[in-house]
């Protein structure tokens, strides 16, 4: 539910990803898997227009075509790329590895669920994993393709496993954040006091079928049902921090405790309300949608 294609220096990061792979292949890979050998295999499978660089930097719409070119179970000759991924993902001593890429992307929350942090713990540990949008078990030749590597939490990566998804967070053709709106409806008059009186609602507005498919894959209907307590807190705070109270806080503390009204609302309600910032804190998308329903923003 977080758009990764809006990362400001994304293409630079992607190019650096390729250059690190090229350096490894050129200087440390075996003769059987040197750059010329890999490029020849790639051309034989995908056509003369492709080489390792184009395979690694293929955009989401190109990945879609590439995975159709080689049928599942074919292209075993690209097992070296899978081996390269294992090295990239597991070798913490390598100057370029999965931890480094997570740090460069500077995304703190899983883009699939917007529920879990994916911080690096230190130089050798991380709470994130990389999900292959097109599973490497079926498409080994895409195992190191930049836009096929989706930073994710361990929960989402486990739930997805080898299932196919419909919408890539890197795909600029789709605005995932507008595909769904979180909402609620009160079951009875106790909804100001009890989360049991709150019924979650999910409004799918664009690419409905594909969005629901991915939502089900990550079990998000069930998981977000456990966040009714957050919705209840937002409802209660919307009463406590009414418009006049917010105006008073702005008058007294703007420029000292916070910079602007957006900062104040984050302080009160606990989530970012700018779409560009959803990757900074869990449940920011849920928070913003509920605040819009409550007419706070």
Q: What SS3 string covers 200-262?
A: EEEEECCCHHHHHHHHHHCCHHHHHHHHHHHHHHHHHHHHHCCHHHHHHHHHHHECCCECCHH
Please give the residue that has the higher pLDDT: either 91 or 245: 245
Q: If phi over 0 gives left and psi between -120 and 50 gives alpha, with beta otherwise, what is residue 243?
A: alpha
169 occurs within a structural domain? no
Q: What angle do CA 71, 77, 83 make, to 5 degrees?
A: 110
Percent of the chain with pLDDT over 90: 64
Distance, CA of 102 to CA of 58 (rounded, Å): 19
277 occurs within a structural domain? yes
Distance, CA of 193 to CA of 118 (rounded, Å): 33
Helices (H), the chain: 10-27, 35-46, 52-56, 60-69, 79-90, 98-105, 154-160, 208-217, 220-224, 228-240, 243-253, 261-269, 284-293
Same domain? For 143 and 24 the reply is: yes
168 occurs within a structural domain? no
Confidence of residue 52 (pLDDT cuts 50, 70, 90): very high
pLDDT mean over 229-257? 95
Q: What angle do CA 76, 77, 80 make, to 5 degrees?
A: 100
Same domain? For 124 and 262 the reply is: no
166 occurs within a structural domain? no
Domain that holds residue 75: 4-160
Same domain? For 9 and 156 the reply is: yes
For 184, the 3-state DSSP assignment is strand
Q: What is the mean pLDDT of the chain?
A: 90
Give the least confident one: 8-17, 35-44, 155-164. Answer: 35-44
For 129, the 3-state DSSP assignment is strand
> For position 80, what pLDDT does the model report?
83
> For position 34, what pLDDT does the model report?
84
pLDDT mean over 278-286? 94
Question: Is the pLDDT confidence value at 2 over 90?
Answer: no
Same domain? For 13 and 151 the reply is: yes
**Which of 160, 187, 221 is the last residue before a domain boundary?**
160
Same domain? For 15 and 141 the reply is: yes
107 occurs within a structural domain? yes
> For position 124, what pLDDT does the model report?
74
171 occurs within a structural domain? no
Same domain? For 104 and 206 the reply is: no
170 occurs within a structural domain? no
> For position 120, what pLDDT does the model report?
82
Same domain? For 113 and 32 the reply is: yes
Same domain? For 11 and 142 the reply is: yes
Distance, CA of 107 to CA of 111 (rounded, Å): 8
**Which of 136, 160, 184 is the last residue before a domain boundary?**
160
Same domain? For 180 and 275 the reply is: yes
Q: At 254, phi and psi to the nearest 5? A: -60, 130
Same domain? For 108 and 14 the reply is: yes
Buried b (16+ CB within 10 A) or exposed e, 17-27: bbebbeebbee
> For position 73, what pLDDT does the model report?
44
> For position 45, what pLDDT does the model report?
84
pLDDT tens, position by position, 180-236: 999 999 988 888 888 888 999 999 987 899 999 999 999 999 999 999 999 999 999
Same domain? For 24 and 130 the reply is: yes
Residue 64 CB burial class (10 angstroms; 0-12, 13-18, ≥19): middle
167 occurs within a structural domain? no
Question: Is the pLDDT confidence value at 16 over 90?
Answer: yes
Number of domains within the chain: 2
Distance, CA of 225 to CA of 141 (rounded, Å): 38
> For position 72, what pLDDT does the model report?
46
Question: Is the pLDDT confidence value at 74 over 60?
Answer: no
Same domain? For 143 and 72 the reply is: yes
**Which of 109, 132, 160 is the last residue before a domain boundary?**
160
pLDDT tens, position by position, 160-193: 999 999 999 999 888 866 789 999 999 888 888 8
């Amino acid at each position: 539910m977080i758009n990764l294609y809006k990362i400001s220096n994304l293409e630079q990061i992607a190019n650096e990803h390729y250059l690190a792979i090229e350096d490894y292949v050129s200087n440390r890979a075996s003769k059987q898997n040197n750059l010329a050998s890999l490029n020849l295999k790639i051309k034989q499978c995908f056509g003369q227009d492709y080489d390792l660089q184009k395979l690694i930097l293929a955009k989401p719409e190109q990945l879609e075509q590439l995975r159709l070119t080689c049928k599942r179970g074919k292209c075993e000759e690209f097992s070296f790329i899978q081996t390269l991924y294992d090295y990239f993902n597991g070798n913490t001593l390598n100057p370029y590895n999965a931890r480094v890429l997570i740090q460069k992307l500077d995304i703190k929350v899983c883009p699939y669920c917007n529920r879990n942090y994916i911080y690096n713990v230190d130089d050798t540990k991380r709470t994130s994993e990389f999900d292959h949008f097109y599973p490497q078990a079926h498409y080994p030749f895409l195992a190191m393709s930049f836009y096929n590597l989706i930073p994710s939490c361990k929960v989402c990566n486990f739930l997805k496993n080898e299932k196919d998804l419909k919408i890539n967070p890197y795909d600029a053709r789709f605005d995932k954040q507008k595909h769904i709106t979180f909402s609620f409806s009160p079951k009875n008059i106790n909804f100001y006091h009890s989360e049991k009186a709150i019924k979650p609602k999910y409004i799918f507005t664009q690419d409905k079928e594909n969005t629901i498919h991915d939502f089900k894959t990550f079990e998000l209907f069930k998981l977000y049902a456990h966040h009714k307590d957050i919705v209840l807190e937002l409802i209660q705070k919307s009463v406590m921090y009414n418009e006049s109270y917010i105006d008073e806080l702005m008058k007294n503390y703007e420029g000292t405790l916070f910079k602007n009204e957006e900062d104040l609302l984050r302080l009160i309600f606990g989530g970012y309300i700018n779409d560009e910032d959803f990757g900074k804190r869990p449940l920011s998308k849920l928070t913003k949608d509920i605040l819009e329903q409550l007419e706070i923003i």
